[in-house]
Amino acid sequence: MANVAAVLKVKVAPSSGKGIRETRKYTTYCSACGKAFSPTQKECPLCGNLLKRKYKATG
Ligand SMILES: [Zn+2]
């Protein structure tokens, strides 16, 4: 029985070729101005509108 358990414990390699991305890239932009700003910005320096995040779809 021990041998069977050992065989079943064999790791199954992930077949999906997609790797896990550590950091998600995104840009912040003002929906009013349509301008992009640094992700550290929370409000639009031009109109004071709340910035929105837009994740970059890579791949
Ligand atoms: Zn703005």
Domain range holding 39? 24-59
Residue 39 lies in a domain: yes
Tell me, in angstroms, the distance from the centre of ligand 1 to residue 56's CA.
20
Confidence band for 3, pLDDT divided at 50, 70 and 90: confident
Residue 5 lies in a domain: no
Tell me, in angstroms, the distance from the centre of ligand 1 to residue 23's CA.
26
Tell me, in angstroms, the distance from the centre of ligand 1 to residue 57's CA.
23
Q: pLDDT at position 36, please?
A: 92
Residue 18 lies in a domain: no
In the predicted model, what is the mean pLDDT of residues 26-51? 93
Q: What is the 3-state secondary structure (H, E, C) of the chain?
A: CHHHHHHHCCCCCCCCCCCCCCCCCEEEEECCCCCEECCCCCECCCCCCEEEEEECCCC
- Residue 9's Cα: distance from chain center in Å? 32
Number of domains in the chain: 1
Residue 7 lies in a domain: no
Tokens 């070729």 appear where?
A: 17
Task: Considering only residues 48 and 13, tell me which one the structure prediction assigns the higher pLDDT.
Answer: 48
